[in-house]
């Protein structure tokens, strides 16, 4: 039972194949689809014309077959879908009803869901007999209580779908799985990368998260503002127009707007006053939002860092942990400097880990789980 995991962006496709032991046996990507395309799958490498997602997927399937992972060895394809809305909150088989549900919430994720749909439909045309499954980045947060989900808006505004959804759910679900028996009752999870969020996880379930209606809310990010007053957004729209304001908020702000680069490593290398301030801003607001997450859980028993920054930036981890000393957090500085998985310090009331992000593996696991459930149902 091998599962092909597909993560489609607006102009890219990333793929990975996992065998039945959930070992990654192949991976690759096609970028700049429809433009200056580059292929990195198996023995296919370099620039070549790839006009659309269907052509990209066909190339991926061809390269996988040459590596011994032909269609006869694939049990299913599993897709990452950014937004499932309020209705699609568990992993599921892709059916016409599911496709319609994903399409219905395109206005909530206009940059992501159309690409996810394109990949599903393209693969369906290429290999109609291959079952397809979907995992939703919003699904893990379906357990957040209503009082935390709703904005204080009148009913006619809420009917537009304006509510908090939360994202990075596949990452958080994989993190919970990775911790296994070590999972504490009240866990502060930090997914820190170009997109960044925190999640309050109590009893293995999400009870609060920093992202909201869209991935724009919450922490300072690579190019996104994070939390910002709604009237400031309206002022930008008034001066620049809605489309330009959206570009400023989502693509030109965050670390890039503050420090001149969206990558934490580049900011560290730059060493300018602007760059240092951008890193300090990121840490400060991570600590501020962490306090909110801890309040939502009623306390703190564990902290887990994941994502590119969370796993690799020693100084950012240290800054956040120093800022949480008031919550009983004490970390082993030598372990943190060495990038170890266990960071808990002597006498700390809170356990601390770094956990490698495993979103693709989690998507494969969820697809296998749905298939197993379907098989068991057929047996009954």
How is residue 323 written in tokens?
């800022």
| Residue 367 φ/ψ, nearest 5 degrees | -65, -45
DSSP code for 348: -
Is 193 a known ligand-binding residue? Answer: yes
In sequence order, the β-bridge partners of residue 246 are none
Is 359 a known ligand-binding residue? Answer: yes
Is 192 a known ligand-binding residue? Answer: yes
Q: Is 332 tagged catalytic?
A: no
Is 83 a known ligand-binding residue? Answer: no
What CA–CA distances, in Å, run from 344 to 14, 127, 177, 203, 329? 35, 48, 20, 20, 8
| Residue 314 φ/ψ, nearest 5 degrees | -60, -45
Is 333 a known ligand-binding residue? Answer: no
| Distance separating alpha carbons of residues 80 and 98, to the nearest angstrom | 13
> Long-range contact list for 9-12, CB < 8 A, 24+ apart?
9/112, 9/115, 10/111, 10/112, 10/114, 10/115, 11/35
Which residues does 149 contact at the CB level (< 8 Å), separation at least 6? Answer: 163, 164
Nearest by Cα to 199 from 314, 300, 342, 281 = 300
Is 323 a known ligand-binding residue? Answer: no
* Max CA distance (Å), the chain: 66
Is 195 a known ligand-binding residue? Answer: yes
Q: Which of 19, 137, 301, 332 is catalytic?
A: 137
Element at 306 (helix H, strand E): strand 302-306
Is 377 a known ligand-binding residue? Answer: no
Is 67 a known ligand-binding residue? Answer: no
Is 7 a known ligand-binding residue? Answer: yes
Which residues does 39 contact at the CB level (< 8 Å), separation at least 6? Answer: 28, 30, 45, 46, 47, 48, 50, 59, 63
Is 246 a known ligand-binding residue? Answer: no
| Residue 252 φ/ψ, nearest 5 degrees | -125, 10
How is residue 220 written in tokens?
């300072």
Residues at the annotated binding site for Mg(2+)?
7, 359
Residues at the annotated binding site for ATP?
14, 191-195, 263-265, 308-312
Residues at the annotated binding site for substrate?
80
Residues at the annotated binding site?
7, 14, 80, 191-195, 263-265, 308-312, 359
Residues with catalytic function: 137
């Amino acid at each position: 039972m091998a599962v092909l995991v597909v993560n489609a962006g607006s102009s890219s496709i990333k793929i990975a194949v996992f065998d039945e032991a959930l070992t990654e046996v192949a991976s690759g990507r096609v970028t700049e689809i429809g433009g200056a395309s580059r292929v990195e799958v198996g023995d296919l490498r370099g620039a070549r014309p790839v006009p659309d997602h269907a052509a990209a997927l066909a190339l991926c399937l061809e390269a996988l077959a040459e590596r011994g992972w032909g269609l006869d060895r694939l049990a299913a394809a599993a897709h990452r879908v950014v937004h499932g809305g309020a209705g699609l909150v568990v992993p599921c088989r892709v059916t016409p009803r599911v496709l319609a549900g994903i399409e219905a919430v395109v206005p909530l994720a206009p940059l992501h869901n159309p690409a996810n749909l394109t990949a599903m439909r393209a693969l369906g045309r290429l290999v109609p007999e291959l079952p397809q499954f979907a995992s939703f980045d919003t699904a893990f947060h379906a357990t957040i209580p209503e009082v935390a989900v709703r904005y204080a808006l009148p009913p006619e505004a809420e009917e537009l779908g304006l509510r908090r959804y939360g994202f990075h759910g596949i990452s958080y679900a994989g993190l919970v799985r990775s911790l296994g028996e070590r999972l504490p009752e009240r866990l502060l999870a930090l997914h820190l990368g170009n997109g960044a969020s925190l999640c309050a996880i109590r009893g293995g379930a999400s009870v609060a998260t920093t992202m909201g209606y869209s991935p724009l809310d919450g922490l300072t990010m690579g190019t996104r503002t994070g939390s910002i007053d709604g009237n400031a957004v309206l002022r930008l729209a008034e001066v620049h127009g809605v489309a330009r304001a959206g570009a400023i908020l989502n693509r030109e702000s965050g670390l890039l707007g503050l420090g001149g680069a969206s990558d934490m490593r580049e900011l560290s290398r730059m060493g300018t006053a602007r760059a240092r301030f951008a890193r300090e801003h990121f840490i400060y607001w991570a600590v501020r939002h962490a306090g909110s997450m801890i309040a939502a859980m009623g306390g703190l028993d564990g902290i887990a860092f994941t994502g590119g920054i969370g796993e690799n930036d020693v100084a950012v981890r240290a800054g956040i942990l120093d800022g949480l000393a008031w919550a009983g957090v004490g970390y082993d500085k030598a372990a943190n400097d060495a990038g170890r998985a266990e960071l808990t310090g002597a006498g700390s009331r809170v356990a601390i880990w770094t956990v490698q992000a495993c979103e693709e593996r989690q998507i494969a696991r969820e697809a296998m789980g749905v298939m197993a459930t379907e098989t068991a149902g057929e047996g009954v």
